[in-house]
Structure 1
Amino acid sequence: MIFNMIRGPRAAFGTLIGQVRRGVMTTGSRRLCSKPQEGPSAPQAQRLGFKVPGYRPSEWDKKMLLWSGRFKTAEQIPEFVSFEMIDAARNRARVKACYVMMALTIIACIAIAVSGKQAAGRHENLTSQNMEKKARWREEAQREKEEATALAEKAQ
């Protein structure tokens, strides 16, 4: 590598790139390539793949299994079920909940539109409501002012 530096920066860079591509470039004790390591860690990875054969569903999971239509009654649910079955039931219940929320949203939008049309037919709008409210406030303020002046005159 030092010899390549003597020849010039281009030659050194080209050699460096070639070494990295071949996977032989080393820096200290580390290699720059990403080859899978073989050794004592491989058998340990195989042991970590142990899978529990079943999953004990909670009360909420049982409700999800019933609501998704997987089982008809709570007594039919076995003590242990696969996690995939629980996951599928949750996904199905999630989709049903989304459908219910969509339907409620559409119903609410239609109800608001009908209510707005009825209010427009009665000539109710925000501008007239605000003007009425401000007129009431002015009247109350005027009354309070008159009461304050009347109390001040009595006090003298």
Structure 2
Amino acid sequence: MFNVEAYKGTREENYTLVIKQLAALMEGESNRIANLSNASALLNLFLDRINWVGFYLLEDKELVLGPFQGLPACVRIPLGRGVCGTSAKLAETIRVEDVNLFPGHIACDASSQSEIVVPLMKNGQLIGVLDIDSPEKNRFDELDQQKLEEFVDVLIKFL
């Protein structure tokens, strides 16, 4: 079921498949850490040309590192700081073509060149963000944003 070989369609078809896989993986499980761990592992398997994927969770007005796949990362990010903190503060997805040009970018991994951050909103309240980094500039486009927001919409039902 969770095999890179399954992603043989168009990018849109592949995203649809991974979102279905997420729902199947989460079905019947209510543990937040388990679900976030599996979601990050699934995205790491699915997405190519990335070097980090994971979650930061809101705790006492700052983001704290949650389940992820990749190199060790920054543990705490203040709201409004860096791409993750800015996305969290604005409660909106942020796509950055070149992280070196983003004011206040926090470089946890020097090889990261582009980034997308999707806020996790439940009942109108921020609970965290999904953060994905790539070693390539301009890695993420409108389709990535749309489908990752759909992925988060499904995930949030299980958190």
Q: Which has the larger radius of gyration?
A: 1
Question: Which has the larger share of strand?
Answer: 2
Please identify which structure carries the higher helix content.
1
With a CA cutoff of 8 Å and minimum separation of 6, indicate the structure with the bigger relative contact order.
Answer: 2
TM-score by length of 2: 0.19
Q: State the TM-score, normalized to the length of structure 1.
A: 0.19
